Every structure is written in structure tokens, then in C-alpha cells.
Amino acid sequence: MRAIPDVTANSHEFWLKTCGHDTYWRSSGHARVDTPWNAFTHDDQALVCTLWVDFIVDVFDPQENRLRRFVRLGGRSREWKGVAISHGEAARDNLDRAIALRKPVFGYEAEPQRAALEQGERKVKHFYLNRAHQLQAWIGLRKMDLDERLHIEEAFQRKNIETDLDPNMPATLFELVEATAERPDVTRQEEDTTAIREEETDNERGTDNEGDAAESEEDLIEQEVEGNLSADEYAPVALRLLVAHVLAQKDGVLVTVTYSALAEMLGRRDKHGKPFPRGLGHVLGRVTALIEQASSQWPERPPLLTAVVVHSATTGPKAGLPGSGVGNVWPGYELLSRDDKRARVGIEYQRILAFGSRWNEILRLANLPPVEPPLGAGQGSTGAGGWAGGESEAHKAMKRFVLENPEFFGVPAGGFSQEEYALRSGDKIDVMFKSDRLWVGVEVKSRTSDGNLDDYERGLYQVVKYTAVLEAQARIDQPNNPPEVKVLLVLESKLPEVHRALATALGARYFDSVKREVAETAV
């Protein structure tokens, strides 16, 4: 008899209060398929797992003279079908992330309904709050040594626990141990849950993770969504739409696509006719799989195209960033600060643009029609008219205005002037003016940058970088009397308020709102 009575909980309330996961979001009748096998807590600081009591084995350790308990999680069974496959893949991704980032993993014991088991289903009869355990992963040589001493695998075999595991997705062995980290707070006040719901009013709940356990293909098919297509059916359409979007960009600025916008592009709507982005992470996962399959014989992996799709929220840690699924591709991404994440994503956006016309080769290898260039656009990766990241007419007009009006920027007329001036760092600056006493470089940002405000921030840092490079070149070229160096950022639009403090902190000079002058000189 237990010294402490069992404390049970409604599993719906448990997942809602502990992880902000609403298993009744469609209806209570869908709770079984909407219940995750594991999920991260509200603050993303711990992973919470369901531990089926009939999947746990007890092994006596004679060396330590105690009973030890083990469970295997994250493996794939060949018997899984439908929603179980998606749930299993999602659970594996979460476990891998938790282990890689050294986040604590907790398990709560659950007792299945006997009648359901006899029918080949697994439903929760009791979910025990007082049977909570921290889980210690055993992997590699340590796991092999432990198994050799305690014969743990034999214990699983004796209980006939998942003897049909797929060797391509093996389970991880976990031991149920005393907690060394703070246990997830399952007594969180109701107002906390309400606040989380309010943060999700942009209708993107669950779209931040390509492995969201509540968003299986079976879940999505059951919902009242126009078309009722599976992720595999949506993926080729989404791939071509994203390639077309990338190839239409201009001036090296990649405008992002929100989950809601992608749902609109796919014609994926709810019963009310509104774009339905929930679960698009699965679609993006299939898009990445298509790209990897098409490029499997290439020496280099293509850029992560799906990073173009971002959260639409304007505030919060996820605003404007891709879903957390990118962490599965970029090790250590989740450990970065928000600013460093933006910088990492910015690098990938430049790679995506530089990939240029090779995106059409990806489409061809995926047996999809290529994206045709706009009328008059070039065929190369830097063609005119914005094809594959080429230069817009607005950007050209800005450069012409700067080149033809040096006095406007404090530069005497009649000296050296050149567009696309090559620096010895391997960079190019849009316009360069030079005299014996003064060098002035000008970096231009057209109104295209309004589509991705981070490009203005990048421009400010370019001013800092180009200033340092030109000052170094000036000292080399004229060591006895180096000229004064200035680098300016010239903007067609107004510098966003959010970046003005940064410009002051960096000492970056800029001219903004030059639309009128550009319009007068543009033909």
C-alpha cells in the first residue's frame, strides 16, 4: 500500500496548465488524438513526457542493492499507423532537442484503459500527478556498459515492450530518477493560461514547430479546412510558391512570408473562410524533405528555404522569426539571444538569395515546373528587374541620384566617383567618391527594404564595417597623410524609429526620406 495516496488529474487540464497545450481546441471528443506524447513547458525550460506504466521496467541493481526503473522513449514502431507516426516523429524531435540543449526531461505516469488496449487503442484511465520523475538519458558507451551489467534490454523483452522498433529510429533509454531540476509547475494559476491564449490570437498556435505533436496529418485532415489536403500534397505546391517568392526579390532584400500569408497562398482556409496556418510546420517539414531528396547527389546542402516563413506577431521572442524547427537544422540556434537569432537568419536569407536560379533546378529534380522570370528579367541569379535577388529600378535610381549629386552629401564636384566600388575586404559599396583629402562612401537602401526592416539595421552595420575597411585602405595608400574617411547610409524611406537609437550608438551617419529627389531623377 502506498504511503501517499495517488493524486490524479484530467490529462486535458494537465497539458493546458503545464505546457499551454489545449487538447480540447477542437472538441473534447478529439482529446485523444490532440494529446501530445510530450511537450515543452510554458517557459520552454523543460520537456514533459507521458510515461505509460506498462512500458516501464523494474531492474534490480545488485551492486547498488536497489531497484531501478527504466523506460524507452523516442523509438519508432513498425506497427504505428496514421496519427501515431506523426506523434512519434514529433516526440523524437522534442527529445533530441531537450538532450542536445540539456533541458531537463520529466515524466508523469499514466495508466491505460484496459478495455481500450484490448481493442488496440491506448487511452488514459488515470494520469498521476504524484508519480512524477525526472528522466536521465543513457546513451553511447555508458548505456552499453549499464545494459551489460543490468541486462536492461532483456527486461524489456520479457515484458514484450516494443520488440518491433525500427532500427532507423531507435529509442533512447531513460532512467526514472529523483528530480535535480525544478519540477514543472502544474498548479499554475488560470490567469497565466489565459495570458498565453491572448498571445496566440494571431491564429498561429502550433505553427512554430515543424514537429508539433498536436498537429499530425490525421489531425489536419479531420479539421474543417478547405481542400483537406495532406502535408505531402501541400508540400510541392508550397515549395514552388516559396521558390517563386524568393526569385521575385530585389536588391538583396528577402521579404519574409508569415504562416498566415503562406496559408493564404495555399488556399488553406478554415470553415469561416479565413487563412488557416495551424499545423503548417508539417508542410514545411515535407518541403525541406523534398529539397533534400532532390539535391541528394549535390556536394553541398541547399540553404534552408523554409526559414523564409516566420511568425506574424509583432512582439514577443518569436516575432518575425522562423519556427523552432530550424533548431533541428542549425545546432545551438535555440541557445542564441533573439538578436543573434535574427543575425543567423539574416545570413541564411543571403544564402537563399544567392542560390538564385539553382532553385529552379531543385524544382526540376522534384518533377515540378520551373518558375518563369518576369517579363524583361534576366535568367541569371542576379538578373535585372529583381529576378533572383537582382537590382530594382528604385535602387538604380537612388545610386544615380547619389552619383550625380555629390554636393548634396558634402562632396566637392569634379573628383573621382564610381558605382559598385570594390573594397579590398571583398565587399562592394554602392557609390564611392575620392579626392586627396576626402573619401566618401555611400551605401544605398531603396524602398524595397521596407519589406524587411532588418535590412536597415544591416545597412547601419555596413556603415561601420565599410568605414573600418576604407580607413585601413587610406592608411596603406597614403601612409604619410591619409585622407578623411566618411561612409553614409542613404535611404529612400525614413529610417524606422526602432533603428534610430542604434544609429546614434554606432555613430553611423545617414540621410533618409530622399524620395522626391529620386523620383525627379528616375526615368
pLDDT digits (tens, 9 = 90+) for 188-225: 433 333 322 322 333 334 333 333 333 444 444 444 44
* β partners of residue 154: none
Q: What's 482's DSSP letter?
A: P
Could you tell me if 285 and 361 are in contact, meaning their C-beta atoms sit under 8 angstroms apart?
Answer: no
Segment holding 174, helix H or strand E: strand 172-177
From 153-167, 208-222, 485-499, the region with the lowest mean pLDDT: 208-222
Interatomic CA distance for residues 65 and 261, integer angstroms: 60
pLDDT of residue 163: 61
Is residue 446 pLDDT above 60, yes or no? yes
Of the pLDDT bands very low, low, confident and very high (cuts 50, 70, 90), residue 186 is low
User: Percent of the chain at pLDDT above 90?
Assistant: 28
N-to-C CA span, the chain = 89
* Residue found by looking up cell 561601420 in the block: 464
Which amino acid is present at 130?
A: N
Can you give the three-state secondary structure of 75-117, one letter per residue?
A: CCECCCCCHHHHHHHHHHHHHHHHHHCCCCEEEEEEEECHHHH
- Asked whether the predicted pLDDT for residue 441 surpasses 90, the reply is yes
Q: Are 66 and 169 in contact (CB under 8 A)?
A: no
Q: Which residue is associated with the grid cell 542576379? A: 382
Beta strands in 313-397 (DSSP E): none
pTM over 0.75: no
Mean pLDDT of 127-148: 89
DSSP run (H or E) holding 128? strand 124-138
Residue 337: what are its φ and ψ, rounded to 5°? -70, 165
Which pLDDT value is given to residue 367? 93
Phi, psi of 418 (to 5 degrees): -160, 140
Q: Would you call 489 exposed, middle or buried from its count of C-beta atoms within 10 A (0-12, 13-18, 19+)?
A: buried
Coil, strand or helix: which one is 294? Answer: helix
Residues 6+ apart with CB under 8 A from 200: none
Count Cα neighbours of 164 within 13 Å in the Cβ-side half-sphere: 4
| Mean pLDDT value of segment 421-439 | 90
**24 CB burial (10 A radius; 0-12, 13-18, 19+):** middle
- β-bridge mates for residue 106, sequence order: 48, 134
Residue 440: phi, psi to the nearest 5?
A: -130, 120
Banded model confidence at residue 5, pLDDT cuts 50, 70, 90: low
Contact 95, 105 (CB under 8 A): yes
Q: Could you give the CA distance from residue 44 to residue 103 in angstroms, rounded to a whole number? A: 9
Neighbouring residues of 194: CB distance < 8 A, sequence distance ≥ 6: none
Collect all residues with Cβ–Cβ distance below 8 Å to 75 and sequence separation of at least 6.
88, 92, 162, 165, 166, 169, 170, 171, 172
Q: How many CB atoms neighbour CB 331 within 10 A?
A: 10
Strands 66-73 and 172-177, bridge-based pairing? antiparallel
Most confident of 318-322, 370-374, 483-487, 515-519: 483-487
Q: What pLDDT does residue 29 have?
A: 67
Q: Which residue's C-alpha cell is 523554409?
A: 306
Q: What is the CATH number of domain 393-521?
A: 3.40.1350.10
Q: What integer best gives the mean pLDDT of the chain?
A: 80
pLDDT, one tens digit per residue, over 279-304 is 888 889 889 999 999 998 898 889 99
Q: Which of 173, 169, 56, 68 is nearest to 108 (CA)?
A: 56
**Closest among 95, 90, 48, 89 to 72, alpha carbons compared:** 95
Give the Å distances, CA to CA, from 436 to 215, 235, 423, 470: 65, 58, 18, 14
pLDDT for 325-348, tens place per residue? 787 788 788 888 888 888 899 889
Using a 10 angstrom Cβ sphere, with 0-12 exposed, 13-18 middle and 19 or more buried, the burial of residue 370 is middle
Q: What is the DSSP string of 415-433?
A: SEEEEEEEPTTS-EEEEEE
C-alpha cell at 267: 488556399
Give domain limits for the chain: 8-190, 203-386, 393-521
- Parallel, antiparallel or unpaired: strands 257-258 and 309-310: parallel
* Ramachandran assignment for 140, one of left (phi > 0), alpha (psi -120 to 50 degrees), beta (any other): left
Nine cell digits for residue 296: 541528394
